[in-house]
Amino acid sequence: MSDALLAVGTRKGLFLARSTGGGPFEVEPIQFSTVGVHAVAIDTRGDRPRLLAGIEYGHFGPSVMYSDDLGKSWQEAQKPPIAFPEKTGATLEKVWQLLPSPSEPDVVWAGTEPGALFRSDDGGITYTLVEGLWEHPHRPQWQPGGGGLCLHTILNHPTDPKIMGVAISTGGFYRTTDGGLSWEAANQGIRAPFLPEGQQYPEFGQCVHKVSLHPARPERLFLQHHFGVYRSDDFGGSWTDIGSSLPSDFGFPVVVHPDRPDTLYVLPLHADMDRTPVGHRYQVFRSDDAGESWQAHGEGLPEGPVYASVLRDAMTASHAGIFFGTRDGSVYGSRDGGDTWSEVASHLPDVLTVRAAVL
């Protein structure tokens, strides 16, 4: 069995947990204590893993830190790693997403608040604004969701670096086929029930919560909307509702099994005005047929009642397992595809992001 690393970003610090030879995860002491960690990436592309952390220093503002020794020490670029050009008049508020490119060895992408995409060509140390998206004519009309005007999802095609997708709350889903020079809204079929009757299928403005894909079938996307779970079989060209048989189609995360492109996971909440788990139990709903049917899996999870939600980036699926973290500071994991679960950590601060990787 391989060694694995679990990274948990919270409202008040970063926690790393390690598993040796398939054994239990051992949680290490807190890092970046009292600092918000909104984004984490475990970059395993090079000779040695690099950890990236999007942190929020409070008074000193947001930044990106990196570690090449699995968290023993951290470094930061001499100048602000992510900064908006002066001509934009914008100021970085948060780093919401960090994603190593699957097809370009030194490229790392970052999504931010306000909603923007940045590119790094030095492994995630420094970043430049993707102006093609920033200058899109829709951008001035994007409105912040409950968490802010954030670009929270980045999807890279596994072999063609020119093809990408991003999701912005509440801009919707956008895609490019020319490496980010131009972008088009790709929200056809996504209903926005919070808009007036007759205006519920807009070109853009949807409150997308998360989008995922599997590299073996990159044209197929799965999307968790503010209300609704959707699938696209043409990289966002059109969307089909696959959430009608769920007990609730409101939620935040959606992830895809690392080996099975048709297997995906969601964690439904009661509603936007009652953001507690369905039935006040943690139940992960899994579909093994690309959303045609769903089964609840909760063996090993608390019987309830529980009331804490799971945020959009607080669930992950990798060859290390399936993991999710809650807003009351617990982290649960499954190593059998979601059939059974066990608690990895408890009594942490509010969990914002979870990432895992085999080392």
Query: Quick one: pLDDT at residue 1?
Result: 60
Query: Quick one: pLDDT at residue 89?
Result: 97
- Considering the entire predicted model, what is its pTM? 0.97
- Amino acid in the structure at residue 136: H
Greater model confidence, 323 or 194? 323
**What value, to the nearest 5°, has the Cα angle with vertex 199 and ends 198 and 202?**
140
Pick the CATH number of 4-358 from 3.40.1390.20, 3.90.420.10, 3.40.109.10, 2.130.10.10: 2.130.10.10
At 131 the three-state DSSP class reads helix
Residue 167's nearest CA partner among 179, 181, 149, 182 is 149
Query: Quick one: pLDDT at residue 193?
Result: 87
Query: Quick one: pLDDT at residue 19?
Result: 97
Query: Quick one: pLDDT at residue 59?
Result: 79
**Residues in contact with 213: Cβ distance below 8 Å, sequence separation at least 6, in sequence order:** 155, 220, 221, 222, 256
- Counting residues of the chain whose pLDDT is more than 70, the rounded percentage is 100
Each residue's pLDDT tens digit, 186-200? 999 999 888 899 999
Neighbouring CB atoms inside 10 A of 196's CB total 7
Average the pLDDT over each of 167-176, 190-199, 329-338 and give the range with the smallest value.
190-199
- Amino acid in the structure at residue 150: C
